[in-house]
Chains A and B, each alone.
Chain A
Amino acid sequence: MTKLAVNLGGIAMKNPVTTASGTFGCGPEYAPYVDLNQLGAIVVKGTTLEPRLGNPTPRIVETPAGMLNAIGLQNPGVEYFINSSLPYLKEYQTPVIVNIAGNCLEDYGEIAKRLDRVVGVAGLEVNISCPNVKKGGLQFGTDPLMAYEVIKTVRENTGLPVIAKLSPNVTDIVAIAVKVAEAGANAISLINTLLGLVIDIDRRKPLLGNIMGGLSGPAVKPVAVRMVWQVSQAVNIPILGMGGITTGADAIEFLLAGATAIAVGTANFVNPQATMEVLEGIEEYLTRHGIDDVNDIVGAAWEK
């Protein structure tokens, strides 16, 4: 019987498969199609202190083997999440990781503190691809020192496992990763979306309401695998890899590149059973290659 359990920076997962924040709602949306108890963990959509309206439409557009999204973090706020969304998830035996976002360091500190002892929350995934309004809107995740500050602030306000979710829109992902590890992150997740733009040639204007959006889906996979490869060899904390995973084979690539666990995101839109098919594919690969424990292949591609 293949061992599938992994530990993501203190979060015990029964298998390496989780959901990418923003693609799986908060549980009830995909429950008719997937047994949530079969997932290694669920990462719910980005939550902010206060409710956010989100961006004007259009919020998505299909691109070659992918899509752009500019949702704008629409969410009902952390209080609603705790009181109304979390009770549903607590019925399941699957750890819940809450993705958090903010506009200044204080926001991150407060929301981390708010979620700190909430029963049912197994960990926090920190979205650092947000603009820091106190630094002219520069994204936290694009600057190693700002990334350090935000993770440190979260670290100081919670005892929960902290996963730093990195933006790929940087020159040197390793520099960012090293700083967030130094700041006390228990794990790193990557990649978030790649910044892109589509022009509507009929209207002769950018198609999205927000002009730019984040690229996800199969098109980004090679960039994501490359970054997992680089980061996992530069830090000692586990990696949650994501970016275009649609099959078990895709997931295995990420594990071999150095990820301890993986997340399935955009693929859910195409195939609501994607998480389960990826899990089955991972199991099938391990069985076929006589590998007893999934942890044995983490970073196996590094060997010369």
Chain B
Amino acid sequence: MKTQNLKRIFLFISFLYLPAHSQNFVQDTLEISFDNLSHAPCAAILDTVIDKRGTQPRFLAWDEKTKYLFVPVDLLILSKKPLAAEIQQALNCGTEKTAACTLELILDEFELSKRNNSMLYPHYRLNAAIQVLHKKKDGKPVSIGRLLYESTIRQPFFGDKLKRGFETLVHKWIVHLAEDLDSLSQNLQTKQTIKSANFRSGNYFSDPQNMISTLDIQRGSGGWLWDAEIIFSPREAKRCFYRDGYNIRYRRNKTYESIEFGLSCDYLFYRLSQNLLLRTKSQLMFGLSSWKDLNETMHDFWDAFIADYSLSQSVIYNPLDKSAILFGLGISQDVFYIYSKKINFRLYFLLNLGLKL
């Protein structure tokens, strides 16, 4: 072997293991600032904010980015000060003289995430769950319920503005929280029913995340479509919300069958009632086809591939904040491309069966 080749190999290895260089492959840290938030007014006294997340106090989120095309590197997202302190400072709560009542907050969950699996709505998302305690005159805190939040903002089309995105999201959320606390304190004082979309009264507290696995069975002019899907969904905090999922499709008709994998699978949910959800699903898929007539017909190599976009609308029985067996009905529209058959459009009836855990 030539000496030059050996030198090249050793240089390559040394490059990978240069201590200074290898640090780049370990972890990056991003600090989110709460400093420049425009303080929202809140009439209540905020006695304490307790962080019960079980993570380090400054932790906000983990993200991941790719360096040198394939090397995955962690991105640790932190606040500058402990999160509880940042929240307390950001909320411009009243002083004792003007205050309507004294509240204590327990931060059960706080999660920032970048959702870029979605093709239609790549977004940054904030999910939070805060237990609200009312401190009575004797100083004993009494739990009055929980505030649940889900805020999203669209990711910019070009470039990743993660820091700016998360800061905007946090700002939006703090304003929302201040408004809710203000409204809560006023309602407590006037002993009126608390009317906030984010508020859940009592001690009810569902799991932070649901796994929804569903099967969409579709029958139409193009034969059968079977879609198996999994969605990991934070608990519902809004009436209208987006989710992204993971799915696989099996297509079957007279001459071929296909297995397709979801490149992007977006859901837009709208809660119609306590038990019913309207679901609009958009999915882009790519897969392989197996031809049943191989012995009779010669197929082109490119016939082995299939590309597909479909939309569906369905009404599903899905009770709020409960584990359940799900079922629903709807219609779906499917456009697909196969080399020898070109572009095709098909309509299907849809039956949805699922399980929410």
Whether A and B are associated in the same complex: the answer reads: no
Interface of A with B (CB < 8 Å)? none
